[in-house]
A and B are shown apart, each in its own frame.
Chain A
Amino acid sequence: MSLATVMGQLTAGLAPRAADNTPPPFPTPHIDYRALLPMLIVGGVAAVGVLVEALVPRARRAITQTVLSLAGLVAALIAVVSNTSIRNITAGGAISVDGPTLFIQGTVIAVSIGAMLLIADRSFGRDADFAAQAADVPGSAAEQASVRAGFVHTEVFPLTLFAVTGMLLFPAANDLITMFVGLEVLSLPLYLLVGMARRRRLLSQEAAVKYFLLGAFSSAFFVYGMALVYGYANSVKFSDIATALSASTHGDPLLIVGLALLGIALIFKLSGAPFHWWTPDVYQGAPTPITAFMASGTKIAAFGALLRVLFVAFGGLSWDWRPVIWGVAIVTMVVGAVVGVTQTDVKRLLAYSSIAHAGFLLTAVGGATVATADSESSVLFYLVAYGFMTIGAFAIVMLVRDADGEANHLSRWVGLGRRSPLIAGIFAFFLLAFAGLPPTSGLWAKVAVFKAAYEGGAAPLVIVGMLASAVTAYYYVRIIVLMFFQEPAVDGPTVAAPTVFTSAAVVIGVAATLVLGIAPQPLLDLAGKAVPFLR
């Protein structure tokens, strides 16, 4: 397609508006503040957090920020829960507060509370995970001075809250512009947070640059895709796109290419292959609490956005995107499973595991010919189960330490079961949950998505998913073997005594995984009631 045709179509799309001599009056959008309350609370607390940085004395900042952030998140969670009956498209059609939005917002806030506990635990004290001053050049005298002065990066808290705000907006956005704003609000703080590790700072900064560059590209793809879709539908609103699709009788290159570009950005965010390359590097380089936050929160929010884009805006095009989702799902599962086998670093391994899980989730999306309630609710359930396991597993990763901070290399985990059976046992429990064995939530999560996939006629995806599950089980079990069946090294790592914060995060993770493993019905009901999307 030549540039001229693209331009031609763009101008054709704009033509009706140009024909009007007087622009239509700009209506004041009605804003349902109650529906937006969770986002407003988290964003507001983040802004207050910035003020705290400026006004509160250094010595009291960390504790102030911790209390403030946790209180803000809890308040936001309460706001979400109190909003459960709301089904409303508000703010001039820009934001859709419907069942899936509320469900995903609740999940994001819940896992963010877990992640915030980990961040709080690691932002001060001897074994902090965040750099004293991120601006110091690694290895420089300035860095040493900052460490000696006992500086603490309490900016982590407002940054994380801003990212949470983005994660709350991203799945709620009902047009492409708002979605892009959500994407950027979500991503920009994360780019910074990734680079803030206290140890192995070069690795961390490399990860941040990589993430930033690739993330910037994916954002560019999103904007380009948005422009093309606007060219087709003459609107960025999902409802208008859906209407334009149903009115059209033929496929359009603008539309297909536009959707493809949007899809690239979204699949990048949820680390689906072949746009997953950043995941292992970034997960490894980032401070572990941030890795936990990204692995759970970003993935949950990105799946929410993907579902809304595919089902609400482009539902009429499902025959075109379905084969692509099939391909992406298969490649994602295979890459996550097979490449994960060769990993020797526990954080990289969990990164590949998270890629594989993105693939399992995509099977349910690929199984949806038209947006079936089953497909959506199974994804929602899976996200909750996966989010809690992830927070818990990374919390355990944070506890296994040696003189250089966290001992992430798997050879350092040898014989951990002998030294601290409880910690190793809990980690083994999370690994079994990732593998989908009873009695964990992982089993029902897999059953839910694979059932949805099968009902949608994606039986081949189910078979590939099962085979990939077996391969992932190999690397999960390998860690269990290391921990329980081998002699501990003489200078093996110690397990740091968990503080109240980390213990709380671990307990939340274990409890959620176990309770959902034994009695998943209440949450399944909730997910079933949350769907479908408001169109």
Chain B
Amino acid sequence: MSFPWLTVIGAIPLAGTAVIAALPNDKPKLAKQTALGTTLVTLVLTIAMAVQFAPHGDRFQFTQTVSWIPAFGVNYALGVDGIALVLLLMTVVLWPIVILASWDECENTKRSVKTFLALMVSMETVLIGVFASTDIFLFYVCFEAMLIPMYFIIGAAGTPKSSYASMKFLLYSLLGGLLMLAAVIALYVVGGHSFLYTALEHAHMPVNDQRWLFLGFFFAFAVKAPLWPFHTWLPDSAAESPVGGTVLLVGVLDKVGTFGFLRYCLGLFPEASHWFTPVVLVLAVVGVIYGALQAIGQKDLLRLIAYVSVSHFGLITLGVFAFTSQGQSGATLYMVNHGFSTGALLMVIGFMIARRRSRGINDFGGMQKVAPVLAGTFLVACLSGLALPGLNTFVSEFLVLVGTFTRYKVAAGIATIGIILASIYMLVLYQRTMTGPVAPSVDGTTDLSLREKLVIAPMVAIIVFLGFYPRPILDVINPAVSATLQQTGNSDPPPVVPANAASTNTAGGSS
């Protein structure tokens, strides 16, 4: 591989950060334009790279390996497989949209506009690093580095509550991260003195060591994902952070956890993953139901979305640990879809909060009469959140449930209740805020501005497009998923239907 695509893509936001940080304080507009420009260039370059990705080529492409710290066997090793590529794409698509969505909001933080934007843009580099690294230590470094900008973004409002939330976020993540560091170091010692993923996946580790190491990694990812019962930091952080930060947190950062399950927990510790599967499934199913029930009871818009996400992350985890190609493809697709559908929900909520200066559900009502476009986009986002057929999340949710059902019937059965609950919390949310008589406080609210339409239009377009035609994404994901299944030594359970139906059963798992 001649051109270092991933390095360049990662370096652009970093350079942008430096430029933004060097700008004078009194030119917020220039800072915003630089941030938007940087993220757009990153997007364009990533797309240019993605079209060259050969789905049936090597598992890791665009690879680059440079020895960084030979004493610890740490390499600067980059490369993406299909799973990482689609998550990378989701990341770079969301970033400019979030910057544009935060156009006005970033003036309201405690810090200067340029600081806030520099933090936002710097985080893009770190996330690209997380998804693109194929060296476990490099991954860990990015995983931990992610905390610092996010911590300052969550605390940006400067209120006691936000500083509490950012502290809680940091401590939860740091505890998980440090336990993972212990496991990473142990992995180096047990796994043959290398941190390269490609070297470690073939390492033979004693079963008992595997289980301990699995726990170290699992805990970090379970906090990040967040999986019930490690989720309590998410509602606080999501509610107190500026909405743009919440989109990044829930939409992208949390995917690192589920991505970690798939890439590292399953890929490196296949036997331990099987051994722990019953426990993980229970946690995931509890999360699905618990998150949904909590969401129904919320009075705060942002906390509601946070609990919805807890429920959805339960489903994603279920799909990952189902060890079937539909389950894992569905889970990966769900990660992407969740980024867009929850992102859209949060952005519209951000517009509502900007108009009404309140997060309380009861402060809204009848908005569809005064702001029809806002209400319309909100409805699309809500329907995507409850996985309406024809919208993106339906495909992934269906795949996850089918994939789980072929192996774990009870878990899939219980998780299906989550779908019913989803329609309750989403439709009730829409009903309370948008329908009914116009609440006096909402009267005279303006509809979406051109900037806001520009923000939400691509999101809605992606939601609808992926609902009808998820195949481009699935084609990229599937080879990577079958590689993961090979690592764990699983094959799809044979269908109990006549043999001629088998070829239509898989969603392209072996195509």
Contact = CB atoms under 8 A, between A and B. Distances in A.
Interface in A481-535: 481, 484-487, 519-521, 524-525, 528
Given A437-B148, A521-B69, A470 B175 contact: yes
* Chain A interface size, under 10 / 10 to 19 / 20 to 34 / 35 or more: 35 or more
Given A451-B72, A451-B188, A473-B174, 14 more contacts: A437-B144, A443-B141, A446-B181, A450-B182, A459-B186, A466-B179, A466-B181, A473-B170, A481-B167, A484-B152, A484-B155, A486-B163, A520-B71, A521-B69
Contacts, number: 88
B309 to A, nearest CB: 25
B145 interface: yes
Nearest to B187: A454
A321 interface: no
28 contacts: A437-B145, A437-B147, A438-B145, A443-B144, A448-B72, A450-B181, A450-B185, A451-B189, A454-B186, A462-B186, A465-B182, A466-B179, A467-B178, A467-B179, A470-B174, A470-B178, A473-B171, A474-B171, A477-B151, A477-B171, A481-B166, A484-B152, A485-B155, A485-B166, A486-B163, A487-B158, A524-B69, A528-B71
A454 B189 contact: yes
Which 9 pairs between the two chains have the least Cβ-Cβ distance? A485-B163, A524-B71, A466-B178, A470-B175, A438-B141, A466-B182, A438-B145, A521-B69, A485-B155
A481 B155 contact: yes
Contacts of B181: 446-447, 450, 466
Interface string A445-467: 01110110011000100110111
A81 B25 CA distance: 46
Interface of A: 432, 435-439, 443-444, 446-448, 450-451, 454-455, 459, 462-463, 465-467, 469-470, 473-474, 477-478, 481, 484-487, 519-521, 524-525, 528
Nearest to B212: A459
B68 interface: yes
Contacts of B110: 485
A86 B504 CA distance: 75
B70 interface: yes
B185 A454 contact: yes
A451 B182 contact: no
A439 B145 contact: yes
B155 to A, nearest CB: 5
A436 B185 CA distance: 14
Contacts of A455: 189
Interface of B: 68-72, 110, 141, 144-145, 147-148, 151-152, 155, 158, 162-163, 166-167, 170-171, 174-175, 178-179, 181-182, 185-186, 188-189
Given A443-B141, A520-B69, A521-B71, A451 B185 contact: yes
Contacts of B178: 436, 466-467, 469-470, 473
A471 to B, nearest CB: 9
Contacts of B189: 451, 454-455
Nearest to A480: B151
A439 B186 contact: no
A455 to B, nearest CB: 5
B182 A462 contact: yes
A436 B170 CA distance: 14
A485 B182 contact: no
A525 B171 contact: no
Scoring B152, B178, B188 by chain A CB atoms within 10 A of each residue's CB, the highest score goes to B178
A140 B242 CA distance: 57
Contacts of A524: 69, 71-72
Contacts of A520: 69, 71
Nearest to B67: A521
Contacts of B174: 435, 470, 473
